[in-house]
């Protein structure tokens, strides 16, 4: 037996349910541009009908409906796409950093240009060639000195810039660790909040959105694996647990480096940073060091012309003699300074105090030469009269040999080259280094663009599922508005029925 006021209750439920839907539409519209928001849907279910199964069943026919109920508000979201997104965004993170670093290395190397190391080296050899024409000339010597200083400056500065880049990457790792830790901490506290709310039976939609968003962001920094457990998201990086319910293992730069070594950290921005620093930048620093070291001391073969007097001897060579010397330094030491009596020349390049060998950073022009250009050797010939050796200043053999060094193959230390070249001209070594940088940079850029496209693709798919469509929300709004209106009208109709019943019937006796 239904109550007199049964339909008022039905109408009221309908009004409430439609209102809930309208509120949700409003919530969706408000969050149309919220990052990480997924649209929400109200699940409406017909309320439990009268005359449920039981002993006290009345004799009236049928199950009378009791209207509608909003039973749940859910997010529309596919967790499979979340997994896909996080899988892609770790590559995006790694390649964007690597591509960025290689790009920076390219601008440090600064080729092709009129100011890179190659130009400076050309100028150095040209200065020697000019000096060979006027070996007695002070101006020519000064130009050789200046170009040599420019050469060492270029090496020093390029090395410095690479070291700076390396240091920048180290501090970026610190910053990223901090950023990751805030995400990890928030995710874990969201785990707690979500569990608390959902224990009451509701869905913590907006908190879940936040947690997913933070997880997305974390996935770009380090490679993570997310599993859904009763206590919330469990997040691990390789074998390292980061979040387990409400417990957190914070990331430290040291822990990240260790994870890089063990392979737990294998993609993401931090991986990109460590790779950039320890692989790319370190490799180019090493190659540059090798270049500087080889230029100064690498084995080369030179042919000393007949008539030259080797230092320590007084007899001119009868025939041209081919010999192996140690780089520019070794060659320079075959000659004589302009001083009288004839004095054997010193090293051309030296390394800075405190350094243990020639590196791009430590290389410098011998201070003797910086202060007195007469210590630049051009002559390989002396004459001896009365036991005193005098330099033949017009002899330009050494200057000629120096200016020809750009075509001479140097022996590179195979273990240190890093680009597999054991014997090459300085220019060849350098251009193969620049070429390799170009290839790596191009590859990194391509990978970056690829992973961007793929991440965007997955993100599009996610948006297609979870994004708020204003058109859709508007039509829903119209739909719910009409339903609300109709429910209100139903209430009015029933009100009129009761009006008739109460005020219009049973007028007998009035």
Partner 1 sequence: MSLRVTPGMMHMQLSRNLNRNLAQMDSLQNQLTTGRKINKPSDDPVGITYSLRYRTELASNEQFQKNADAAHSWLDFNDTVLGQAGDVMKRIKELTVNGSNGTNPQDALDSINSELTQLKSQLIDIANSKLNGKYVFNGQQFDKLPYDVNAPGFDAKQVVTDAGDVSYAVGVGVTLPVNISGNEVFGTGNPVEADNVFSVLDNIISNFAVGNQAGAAAQLGNLASRDAKITNARSEVGAKVNRIELMQNRLDDLGINLTDMQSKTEDADYDKLLIDSKINENIYQASLSVGAKVISPSLVDFLH
Site residues (CB under 8 A) for partner 1?
A: 32-33, 102-103, 106-107, 109, 111-112, 118-119, 121-123, 125-126, 129-130, 132-134, 136, 307, 381, 392-396, 400, 403-404, 406-407, 427, 430-432, 434-439, 441-442, 445, 456, 459-461, 463-465, 467-472, 474-475, 478
CA within 13 Å, CB half, 504? 7
CA distance 332 to 345: 6
Three-class SS of 395-437: CCHHHHHHHHHHHCCEECCHHHHCCCCCEECHHHHHHHHHHHH
State in angstroms the smallest separation of the CB of 329 from partner 1.
22
State in angstroms the smallest separation of the CB of 383 from partner 1.
8
State in angstroms the smallest separation of the CB of 368 from partner 1.
23
147-160 CB burial, b ≥16 within 10 A, e <16: bbbbbbebbbebbe
Measured in degrees and rounded to the nearest 5, phi and psi for residue 237 equal -115, 105
Which residue has tokens 């050309």?
Answer: 122
Of the two residues 241 and 383, which places its CB atom closer to partner 1 in the complex?
A: 383
CA distance 96 to 104: 12
70-79 CB burial, b ≥16 within 10 A, e <16: beebebebee
Which H helix or E strand runs over 132?
helix 117-133
Of the two residues 365 and 400, which places its CB atom closer to partner 1 in the complex?
A: 400
State in angstroms the smallest separation of the CB of 427 from partner 1.
5
Of the two residues 232 and 335, which places its CB atom closer to partner 1 in the complex?
A: 335
Of the two residues 161 and 469, which places its CB atom closer to partner 1 in the complex?
A: 469
State in angstroms the smallest separation of the CB of 397 from partner 1.
8
State in angstroms the smallest separation of the CB of 76 from partner 1.
10
Measured in degrees and rounded to the nearest 5, phi and psi for residue 259 equal -65, -35
Of the two residues 202 and 472, which places its CB atom closer to partner 1 in the complex?
A: 472
Of the two residues 126 and 186, which places its CB atom closer to partner 1 in the complex?
A: 126
Which residue has tokens 């006796």?
Answer: 509
Of the two residues 369 and 400, which places its CB atom closer to partner 1 in the complex?
A: 400
Of the two residues 197 and 445, which places its CB atom closer to partner 1 in the complex?
A: 445
State in angstroms the smallest separation of the CB of 472 from partner 1.
8
State in angstroms the smallest separation of the CB of 102 from partner 1.
7
Q: Which of 397, 104, 396, 73 shows the shortest CA–CA distance to 276?
A: 104
Please name every residue paired with 366 in a beta bridge, in sequence order, or none if there are none: none
């Amino acid at each position: 037996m239904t109550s007199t006021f049964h339909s008022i209750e039905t109408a009221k439920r309908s009004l409430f349910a439609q209102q809930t839907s309208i509120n949700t539409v409003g919530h969706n519209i408000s969050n149309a541009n919220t990052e990480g928001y997924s649209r929400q849907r109200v699940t409406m279910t017909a309320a439990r009908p009268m005359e449920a199964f039981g002993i006290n069943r009345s004799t009236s026919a049928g199950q009378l409906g009791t209207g509608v109920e909003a039973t749940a508000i859910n997010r529309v979201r596919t967790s499979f796409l979340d997994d896909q997104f996080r899988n892609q965004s770790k590559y995006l993170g790694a390649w964007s950093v690597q591509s960025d670093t290689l790009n920076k290395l390219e601008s440090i190397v600064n080729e092709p240009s009129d100011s890179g190391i190659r130009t400076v080296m050309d100028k150095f050899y040209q200065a020697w060639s000019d000096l060979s024409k006027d070996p007695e000339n002070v101006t020519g010597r000064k130009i050789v000195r200046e170009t040599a200083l420019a050469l060492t400056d270029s090496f020093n500065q390029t090395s410095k810039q690479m070291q700076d880049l390396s240091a920048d990457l180290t501090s970026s790792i610190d910053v990223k660790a901090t950023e990751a830790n805030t995400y990890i901490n928030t995710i874990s506290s969201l785990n707690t909040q979500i569990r608390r709310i959902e224990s009451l039976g509701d869905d913590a939609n907006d908190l879940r959105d936040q947690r997913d968003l933070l997880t997305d962001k974390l996935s770009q920094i380090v490679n993570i694996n997310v599993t859904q457990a009763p206590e919330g998201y469990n997040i691990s990086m390789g074998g390292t647990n980061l979040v387990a319910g409400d417990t957190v293992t914070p990331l430290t730069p040291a822990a990240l480096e260790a994870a890089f070594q063990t392979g737990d950290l294998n993609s993401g921005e931090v991986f990109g940073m460590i790779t950039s620093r320890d692989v790319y930048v370190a490799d180019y620093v090493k190659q540059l060091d090798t270049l500087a070291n080889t230029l100064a001391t690498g084995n080369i073969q030179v042919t000393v012309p007949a008539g030259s007097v080797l230092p320590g001897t007084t007899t001119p060579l009868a025939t041209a003699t081919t010999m192996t010397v140690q780089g520019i330094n070794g060659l320079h030491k075959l000659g004589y300074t302009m001083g009288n009596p004839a004095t054997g020349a010193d090293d051309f390049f030296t390394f800075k105090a405190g350094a243990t060998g020639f590196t791009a950073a430590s290389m410098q022009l011998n201070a003797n030469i910086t202060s007195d250009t007469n210590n630049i050797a051009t002559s390989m010939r002396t004459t001896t009269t009365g036991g005193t050796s005098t330099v033949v200043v017009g002899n330009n053999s050494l200057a000629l040999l120096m200016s020809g060094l750009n075509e001479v193959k140097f022996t590179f230390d195979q273990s240190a080259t890093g680009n597999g070249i054991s014997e090459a001209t300085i220019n060849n070594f350098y251009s193969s280094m620049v070429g390799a940088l170009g290839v790596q940079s191009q590859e990194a850029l391509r990978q970056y663009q690829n992973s961007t496209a793929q991440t965007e693709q997955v993100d599009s798919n996610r948006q297609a599922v979870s994004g708020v469509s204003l058109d859709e929300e508007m039509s829903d709004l119209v739909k719910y508005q009409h339903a609300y209106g109709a429910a209100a009208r139903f209430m009015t109709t029933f009100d009129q029925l009761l009006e008739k019943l109460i005020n219009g019937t049973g007028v007998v006796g009035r």
